[in-house]
Amino acid sequence: MNHINLFLAGDSTMATYDVNRAPQMGWGQVLDQYFNEKIKIWNEAVPGRSTKTFIQEGRQKRICQLIKPGDYLFVQFGHNDSKADSDRYTEPFTTYKQNLEIFISNARSKGAFPVLLTPVQRRNFTIKGKILDKHGSYPVAMRELAMELAVPLIDITEKSTILLENIGPELSKKLYMWLKRGDYSNYPEGMEDNTHFTELGANTIAQLVIEGINDLRLPLAKFINKEEMGL
């Protein structure tokens, strides 16, 4: 049966983790269950990567070699592009946008469809229960580029902000790696992590991505597993 490939390029929030890291999961790790058998997910996301290092390591080149006409490339970076170290850092309105353009142009050169996704919010609340944004100008720059190059954009920064503020500081801990001492054998000392997701969190963000696909009326939407989404 012919299928459509959906390639994912991103960082730790999207990546796939071994069982010895459970319950940690990236949203790309669970995305396949929200599509029928017509869609094949290639999760190429790697923890710690920025647009710069992902390209430098040849990971974008690998995707370009595999991607075919009619396939999709979802690109979500920003967490590590903002890191101060020179190996990963990109400036939002220059090198970050330029690197994203490489993903876009390479996909289009192969007859595939690029889609940009702004980075998922970290779980950082103000005392008034509002999200304290940690991504600076990166979502803004990505939105600008999407407009400039007519690339579909799923605004996960906005969607996850709304989600987290609706859930609130306490319940949102269930989505992230806030683990109590002794609850998980992989983390006997527990953990308090406001960036990475539990299985519940990964699925929650994946559902926001599916919602974004529907919002944009992408052709991919007809392959969504409606039972999994409760539709």
**DSSP 3-state percent helix, strand, coil across the chain (nearest 5):** 45, 15, 40
Residue range 8-48, pLDDT digits in tens: 999 999 999 999 999 999 999 999 999 999 999 999 999 99
Name the residue among 217, 212, 162, 193 with its Cα closest to residue 31. Answer: 212
Distance CA 182, CA 190 (A): 7
Instruction: Tokens for 30, please give them.
Output: 């669970």
Catalytic residue, candidates 37, 44, 192, 228: 192
Count of CA atoms in the C-beta half-sphere (13 A) of 142: 29
- Of the listed 50, 79, 135, 196, which one is catalytic? 196
Residue 226 has pLDDT above 80, yes or no: no
Whether 228 sits among the annotated catalytic residues: the reply is no
For the chain, the structural domain boundaries read 4-229
12 is catalytic: yes
pLDDT tens figures, 47-101: 999 999 999 999 999 999 999 999 999 999 999 999 988 899 999 999 999 999 9
Given 12, 50, 160, 172, the catalytic residue: 12
Please name the fold of domain 4-229.
Answer: Rossmann fold (3.40.50)
Q: What pTM was estimated for this model as a whole?
A: 0.96
Average pLDDT over residues 143-148: 98
C-alpha dihedral over 220, 222, 228, 229, to 10 degrees?
80
Verify whether residue 185 is a known catalytic residue: no
